[in-house]
Every structure is written in C-alpha cells, then in structure tokens.
Structure 1
Amino acid sequence: MSAVEGTIDLSAPLRSADLRRAAAPVSVVVDASVRDRVERGRDFLRDVREEERPVYGATTGFGALVGFAGREEEADQCDNTLAHLGAGQGPDLADDVSRAAILVRTWSLAQGASGVSAHVVDGLAAMFTTTFVPAIPRYGSVGASGDLIPLAYAAQALRGRGQAYLDGSRMPAAEALRDAGLTPLALDGRDALALVNGTSLTTAATALALDSVRSSHRALQALTCLLVDLLGCDPGFLHPRLLGAYGHPGAVDVADGMRKTLAGTLPAGTRPLQEPYSIRCSPQLLGAAEDALRYVDGVVAADLSSVSDNPLFFPDDDLVVHGGNFFGQPAAFAADVLAMVTAQLGNLAERQLDLLVDPARNGGLPPMLAAGPGRQHGMQGVQLATTAFVAEIRRAAVPASTQSLPTNLHNQDVVPFGTQAALRAYDMAELLRLLCGSLAVGLRQAAHVGARRPTASGCAALLDTLVEAIPAVDPDRALDADVRRAAELLTATPPG
C-alpha cells in the first residue's frame, strides 16, 4: 500500500487541488468542530423523529414511492435505500474520479446538515488513507436526484458489498476492506440516503475536467508562441492597443501573457502581412476560452462548497427542509461549456499542427516535417491521429444539459444530465491533452528539420525543454509515447 502524503481538513473549504490529491492515499482530518456539527445534526434528526415529524427517506419509500411506508428497522431501511439502485452498467469509473466523488460527498456530509452518524464521516475519512476504490459503473445517473446509482455502488462497496479496487487490483469489496484494514460501514436509512442523494460524482468529474482543460489552455498559449517564433511571424496581432480595442477581458489577459512569452522575438520578415487565423486570431480564441473557463471556475467553486442533499437539517432553527439541492443543473451547464471550450481548443491545436506540416504555409519546411520526405514520413502518422482526436471531441460535444427526459413516474420530470456532461468533459479533456502533446512534438520536429532557432528567451526555453525530452524523428519511429510524454510535460502541474 502507498504511503499517506499530506492532509485534507474537512473544516476548511474544499478545493480542486484536494480532489487531485485524493487520488493517492491522503489523511482526511475530522476535527472537533466537524464532529460537533455532525453530532448536533444527528441529535436533531433523532428529536425530529421522536416528534413524528415527516422526514423523507427515514421512514418512507424513495422517489416516486415516497407515499408508501419504508421498512421499520433502521438497518433494513438502509438496504431499502441501496438495493434497488444496483442497476448501473458499463466500465468502472477511473480511480481518480471515484475517490474525488467520495471526497466531495464526505465534505458535504461533514457540514452537519445531512443528519448522518458521525461514524459515517469517520469511515469515509479512513478510506482515504488507503488505496481502496469502490468499483462504480459509468452509466446509470441522470444527475437529477443526485448521482444515485453511482454513489449507491460506492456506499455498498464501503459496506463490504459489490466490488472494489485495492492497489489497483479488482476484488470483492469485503476482501478489499479487510486487506486495507478498514471496517465496513454500518448505515441506517438516513445515512444511506445521505450518501447517495447528492451531485458529488458530477461535481468531482467537472472539477477534474476543468483542471485538465485549464492546463491544456495554458499549454496552447505557450505552444502558439513557440509556433510564432519558430516560423518568424510578426507578433503584431498581440498588440495591446489592438486587444484593448477588442475589449474582452480574457483576450486582453491572454495576449498580455503571450507578449511576455514572446518578449525579444524578431520577425523573420518573410511571412505574409496577415497570418492564418490559427495564429492571428489565437488571442481572441484563447481569450474567449479564458472567459468561459472563468465561468466554469465559479460553478465548480460553488459546487465544492455546496451541501447537495435532501432533506437538510438546521438544528439552530428547528428546521427540516425538503427540496432539490441534489439537482445538478449548474454543473451540467458548466460541463457543457467546458466541452465547447475543449472542442475549439482542440480545433486550434489541430489546425496549428496542420499549418506546421504544410510546406505551402510553414515557410518552406519539408512536408510532414520529414527529415527525408518519401524515405521518411515525420509527423504524418501523428497528424492523422490528431484528425481522429478532433473528430471524437466534436462527436462528444453535443450538449447534455438540453437532453432532459422524464423518469421515475414523472417524479423526476426534468433532469439535467449533469453526470453525463461531466464524465464526457473529463474524457474530452484527455484528448485535448494529447492534441497539445502532438503539437509539441511537431514543434520540436520543426526545429530539427530547419525552422529557425527561437529569438524570444521564453520560447527558446520551451523548445529546449521539448528537445531534452523528445528525440528528433530521424529516422521514423512510433511516436505515441512521445506524444504522451510531451502532453505530461506541458500539463503536469495545474493550479491549486
């Protein structure tokens, strides 16, 4: 088992960086203030039940069957909550997504408004010190009453039912818990409902996708600058007066950063007066992406500080409120915006690589940047692959948040499909990383086959880093691993 590194404090705000760290063993701290508010919420639930006030899911059926009585025994009511949700299908979610989703759920429950037992929060926190990962099928959530089916699989695995992973190996969950030194969670009906009745998977996948797309967005700014310098383009398209007149904050900020990277560059004087849009309009494109990503930043920050549950308990006000905080519409919209941004950033990377390999537009460099055209093929395979990546991204970019379908006897008569939007954005973000890696390998190869040495120190430093990590393509070889290495090099350190 891996060593535990770092801590996540449940009394502090949850951040995207915490979700990334939770992919590996980490200490999740349940301090006295957290325990106190969780226990107060639980005590209040007990008082409410003794007063026979109505509480959804404590004694009732679920969803459309709320009008029927649930099971009388607490442990039986837990089974009543979870058993029917074992209907997911498809491949298991990636480990980082599953663990991030459970961390989001743990933080939400730790706010004390869900009425859960304190030992539930303790048990969830203990999981993070190990490599335990519930096996959660991808398909089954509509994100309308939270991520019911995926989170039910997580809850069942933590009870020792179903399947889980430990140290990367899939096995029965009871065996994984035992080998990890974890105690199976004991849940009553309220505990079980609180574990599943929230948008934690949707939030986690959106947050992880956002981090990845932001890293690629930064990488594309740097790669565009390197392209400009290698080809000897005039950087006038980044002039502050030009972008100031444009007026969009993201474009102004992106252009400012690109000018800093290109500081000291000397145009070759051999390029056309106006470059193709993939160069000339890059600050407008990347700037619009920045503005859109800032919107997604705000949604993710709100979701990470959200208690997405039903009902909620407020002891200080003697209040039990039934409602719809589990409705994942904000993240659905945000993930769809993220998908659109990803598609256009992917278009930019692919078009820039296409320009770079075309001798009619690349300043006379050999076709496909081949060291010996015909005898060698340089970037030809990589360029074909990038076309496939972009096609896949475009196919996946259809908005999910507009696809509402009624379900659950029309109890859930509108649904956001945020889970689909978020997981789709997560997948698309990985393809965008590979497009960045492909462009980077192309730029490195351009330097090998005759592009000029960059004249801006920032661009020269980036090229030197790529040259050190990626050998020249001479002779031809498989480049799949080089593309992945370049992508990792460019996007390995997203911000906290």
Structure 2
Amino acid sequence: MSSLLSSLSLDATLTMEMLERAAQPIEVLIPDAMMAQVERGHAFVQKILAEGGQPVYGATTGFGPLVDFHGRTAQEDQCDNALQHLTAGQGPDLPLPVVRAAMLIRLRSLSCGLSGISPAAIEALRAALATAFTPAVPTLGSVGASGDLVPLAYVAQSLRGVGDAYVGGERMPAARALAAVGLSSLVFTGRDALSLVNGTSVTSAAGGLAVASLQRSHEVAIALSALLTDLLGAAPAFLLPPLLAAYGHPAVRQVGQGLTSWLEGSVPSGTRSLQEPYSVRCVPQLLGAARSAVDWAGQVVQYDLEGVSDNPLFFADEDLVAHGGNFFGQPTAFAADLLSMVATQLGNLAERQLDLLVDPHRNAGLPPMLTPLAGEHHGVQGVQLAATATVVSMRRHCVPASTQSVPTNLHNQDVIPFGTQAALTALHQAKSLRILHGSLAVALRQAAYLKPGGASAPRCAELVAALADLVTPIAEDRPLDADVRAAADVLDRVVREA
C-alpha cells in the first residue's frame, strides 16, 4: 500500500476532488460500521432467498419487462444471467478516469448496506481501486433510466475476468489484467451482479468530473478576463461595487471581487472607449451566472454521491424489500445539460476575447494576429482557426439529452432521462473549454510579449510569467498545438494554487 498516491474513508463525504483522485490507485477505507451494515444487508437478502416466500426482482425473476418470468435457480447462474445480456455496449472506451470514478461511487453506494451485496464483492471493488486495474467500458449503451446497466456490466464482468481491462494504460484481457495487479477473479452470488450494475454511477462520475473541471475553468475565465483587461489598458469602471451590487445577483458581485483582485495595480491607458465590448464589460454578469449554474449542478451531483442508487433496496431493520425507481438518473441529467450550456457560453466568451485580442482595430495598437512581422509570419492565426472550430463543435453538442426520451425495453422503460449521455457530453464540453482557455492564454502571453512593459497588474504579470515558463514568444511561425495544451495545464495549476 505504500505506493498508493492517496487514501480516503467512505464515512467521509465523497467529493468531486475525490473522484479526480480516483484516476490513480487509491486506498479506500471502509469503516467497520459500514461493513457490518453490508454483512447485515447481505444476510437479510440470503434469508429472503432461502425462505422463498416472496419474489425479489432480479434475484428470483427475469430482468426488465421479463420480471414476470422466473430467473435461474442457482445464484451464480442468476448473476451470469444479469451480466451476459447486458454486455452489448458499443463505441470507443470511456475515459479511464470516468470508469474509476464510477467504481468509487458504486462502492460508496453499495457500502451503505441497502443493496444486499456480498462482502466479497465489496472487497473486490475496493481492491481493484487500490491498483492500476481499470475495466474497458464502451461509451454507448446506457439510457440512464435503470441505472447505467450496460457500462456497469462491463465493470462487473471485468472483476470476474471477463472482457478487457487496462493496466498502466495497456488494454488486455481482463483475466490477465487481474493477474498483473495481483487480484483474483470474483465469483458472484446472491444479487451481486445486479447490485453492481443497477445504479447511475457512470452518470454521477462523468457529471462530477465535469463539475470539478468547470469549477476550475470558471476561475481560469476570471484570471484570463482580468489579464485581457489589463493588456488592453481598459479602465475597470465596470467592476465598481455599487454598480454590481445594484444588479442583485450575489455571484456577480463575487466575480467582480475576483476580477478586482486580479487587476489590483493595473494602469489603464486612458485611450479606450467609454464603454468596452461586452466580452470585457459584461464579464461579471456572464461569469456570475455561470458560477450560480455550476454551483447548483454541483449540489445535484453531490446528492448523487451521497445517495443510494439501486433497485430494489433492502431494509433489514424493517424487514422490508422496497421496489421502486432509485436508479432513475433524471437529476444529474438536468444538471449535466446545464453544465454543457455553461461550458458553451464560457467557450463563446473565450473565443470572442481571442478575436478581440487579434484584431488591430480593437486591440489597443497590437499587430494583427499578434505577429511581429505580418505576412511573413502569422502569430496566433492558426490557433484562432482551431478555437473557432472548437467553439462551433461545442455549440453543436449543446443539445439537451435530458429531454430525448425514447421508450425502450418493451415499454418497461417508457420515459428515459439519458443522464449518462448528458453527463458525458458535459465532461467533453468541459475538456473543450480547457482548450479554448489554453488558446486564449497563448494569445495573451504573446500580447504581453508584444506590449511594451507587458501586464501592469502584479497578479496578471505573475500569470504571464507562469505561462512564459512553457510558452515561448512567437517570433516566427511554429506549431502551437502543444503550447495550447501546456497553457491549459498551467492555468489549472495556477487556479489550484490560488
């Protein structure tokens, strides 16, 4: 265990930051009290199955609309029955951080003891997270209405050595991957298989990672907007506290305070128009609204992380088996669609700020495309083209998934939230926004190089210096794709440290 990067205990509140940490091997500590609840829940389910007096969905019955038919008699066969027909996903593999975050969320939900899962299955999931083992899970398959059945089936299959998995980034048969990290194949009993697949953990994972990324990107947008304001020589009159207080939105005031902090010591040129373009002047209002939206979406996902997603649930103290819909991913579906809209509007802002910066008619005397020798060299012209393509891609993907209900499963699932697709899209949008911010940062670093004296505000000058460590001045044309990605990494680091 000494090689593990971090550890966490499941009796603590699961956070977005913990989801990100799970991308690497992580030691998950399950308190004795929680394991006692797992054992009690498992014993309760085994007792019900042994008595045979009542049907239990998925343990004694078929699945979905075949619930009115008997399942297989032997428990291990019934677990196989759950997994094999669900192993039908398509498309490229999910990003490995999403899969590992989903495993952590599933472990948290199952450890509450209401799913009847066996302690052996809990330990298998916990042990896998402590290694570099990551199941290979296809992107397409979940409709997010009965949990993430198809993708989580691949997780469960891999734990018993079926399918493929990754170790250290290398894709290989799951049985070989288990052996490579010193794990044994799991034998499922009871309702282990259904417990693992019958929850919205992939949706919650992608949604949580999107929230974490957008929270950072929001702070990055404040920093870049301040640097743009400084380099243009714009007066910060649009940040006056009485002005923003009159708007009535607390988050707008908070963004204004953040921008003011970055711009402390800035020296306006006195040559700008009375009113700046909206991509400067309305930044507090735009980013304030974005902050409110991301905060709300984050709270929704947080409820997911703290809840139990499965069906049925088993309440041993009440001698109750409760069949219902606690695997229906509508809350995070709505939240994720909002996150996609926020990411896209922040992308629109970054793209317009980049356009302002390269335009010699509006950029306070800087050369066109920020090139010191126009015509012979082209500065950030290619970067802007790629940014335009990126923002249009984001706009095209910004179509709500949460309202795309298509009945399926013999109309057993007759209304569907498609939260998984919503959350994965939100995460994709968040990654695209990072690239747009990296593109804008490369241009701002070049503007600071070309402007005599560079940034005047000390914090803005520090940001330029951090970017300059990895992004050299564009004195002549060169490939800038790696510079954009490096700048995005620098921005993440700067806001983390701040």
TM (normalized to structure 2)?
Answer: 0.98
Q: Supply the RMSD in Å over aligned alpha carbons.
A: 1.5
- The 1:461/1:306 distance shift into structure 2, 3 A limit, reads same
Q: Is the 8 A contact 2:116 2:314 kept in 1?
A: yes
The residue number in structure 2 matching 1:441 is 442
Q: Letter of the aligned partner of 1:399 in structure 2? A: P
The residue number in structure 1 matching 2:373 is 372
| 1:452, distance to aligned residue in structure 2 (A) | 4.6
Q: Letter of the aligned partner of 1:7 in structure 2? A: S
CA displacement 1:360-413 (0-9 Å, x = unmatched): 000111000001001110010000000000011001000000100000000000
Q: Letter of the aligned partner of 1:340 in structure 2? A: M
In structure 2, what is the Cα distance between the partners aligned to 1:450 and 1:43? 72
In structure 2, what is the Cα distance between the partners aligned to 1:166 and 1:145? 29
The DSSP-based 3-state class of the residue aligned with 1:7 is strand
Gaps of 5+ in 1: none
The residue number in structure 1 matching 2:110 is 109
Task: Write out aligned runs for 1:113-152 (5 A).
Answer: 113-152=114-153
The residue number in structure 2 matching 1:250 is 251
The DSSP-based 3-state class of the residue aligned with 1:66 is helix
Task: Write out aligned runs for 1:9-20 (5 A).
Answer: 9-20=9-20
| 1:93, distance to aligned residue in structure 2 (A) | 0.6
Q: Is the 8 A contact 2:387 2:439 kept in 1?
A: yes
Q: Is the 8 A contact 1:194 1:309 kept in 2?
A: yes
The residue number in structure 1 matching 2:209 is 208
Task: Write out aligned runs for 1:373-412 (5 A).
Answer: 373-412=374-413
Task: Write out aligned runs for 1:81-480 (5 A).
Answer: 81-450=82-451, 452-480=453-481
Q: Is the 8 A contact 1:134 1:173 kept in 2?
A: yes
User: Is the aligned partner of 1:25 residue 2:25?
Assistant: yes
CA displacement 1:19-42 (0-9 Å, x = unmatched): 111111111112311210100111
Q: Letter of the aligned partner of 2:236 in structure 1? A: P
CA displacement 1:211-263 (0-9 Å, x = unmatched): 11111111010000001011110101011111100011211111111111111
CA displacement 1:110-151 (0-9 Å, x = unmatched): 010100001111110000121111000000110000000000
In structure 2, what is the Cα distance between the partners aligned to 1:264 and 1:248? 26
- Structure 1 residue ranges, 4+ long, deviating more than 3 angstroms after superposition: 492-495
Q: Is the 8 A contact 2:46 2:190 kept in 1?
A: no
CA displacement 1:49-93 (0-9 Å, x = unmatched): 234222111110000100000000011001110110011001011
Q: Is the 8 A contact 1:240 1:252 kept in 2?
A: yes
Q: Letter of the aligned partner of 2:72 in structure 1? A: R
The DSSP-based 3-state class of the residue aligned with 1:138 is strand
Q: Letter of the aligned partner of 2:292 in structure 1? A: D
- The 1:2/1:484 distance shift into structure 2, 3 A limit, reads farther
Q: Is the 8 A contact 2:224 2:441 kept in 1?
A: yes
User: Which deviates more from structure 2 when the two are superposed, residues 41-50 or residues 204-213?
Assistant: 41-50
Q: Letter of the aligned partner of 1:477 in structure 2? A: R
User: Is the aligned partner of 1:49 residue 2:45?
Assistant: no
Q: Is the 8 A contact 2:211 2:339 kept in 1?
A: yes
In structure 1, what is the Cα distance between the partners aligned to 2:108 and 2:496? 22
The DSSP-based 3-state class of the residue aligned with 1:104 is helix
In structure 1, what is the Cα distance between the partners aligned to 2:427 and 2:441? 22
| 1:289, distance to aligned residue in structure 2 (A) | 0.1
In structure 2, what is the Cα distance between the partners aligned to 1:74 and 1:118? 16
Q: Is the 8 A contact 1:81 1:189 kept in 2?
A: no
Q: Is the 8 A contact 1:400 1:421 kept in 2?
A: yes
Q: Letter of the aligned partner of 1:155 in structure 2? A: A
Q: Is the 8 A contact 2:226 2:262 kept in 1?
A: yes
- The 1:229/1:102 distance shift into structure 2, 3 A limit, reads same
Q: Letter of the aligned partner of 1:484 in structure 2? A: R
The DSSP-based 3-state class of the residue aligned with 1:85 is coil
Q: Is the 8 A contact 2:234 2:269 kept in 1?
A: yes
| 1:457, distance to aligned residue in structure 2 (A) | 1.5
TM (normalized to structure 1)?
Answer: 0.98
Q: Is the 8 A contact 1:88 1:139 kept in 2?
A: yes
User: Which deviates more from structure 2 when the two are superposed, residues 134-143 or residues 44-53?
Assistant: 44-53
In structure 1, what is the Cα distance between the partners aligned to 2:182 and 2:188? 19
In structure 1, what is the Cα distance between the partners aligned to 2:460 and 2:447? 14
In structure 2, what is the Cα distance between the partners aligned to 1:44 and 1:2? 37
CA displacement 1:273-331 (0-9 Å, x = unmatched): 00000000010000000010111111111011010000111112221111111000001
Q: Letter of the aligned partner of 1:168 in structure 2? A: G
User: Which deviates more from structure 2 when the two are superposed, residues 455-464 or residues 428-437?
Assistant: 455-464
In structure 1, what is the Cα distance between the partners aligned to 2:24 and 2:289? 34
Q: Is the 8 A contact 1:212 1:494 kept in 2?
A: no
User: Is the aligned partner of 1:4 residue 2:12?
Assistant: no
The DSSP-based 3-state class of the residue aligned with 1:469 is coil
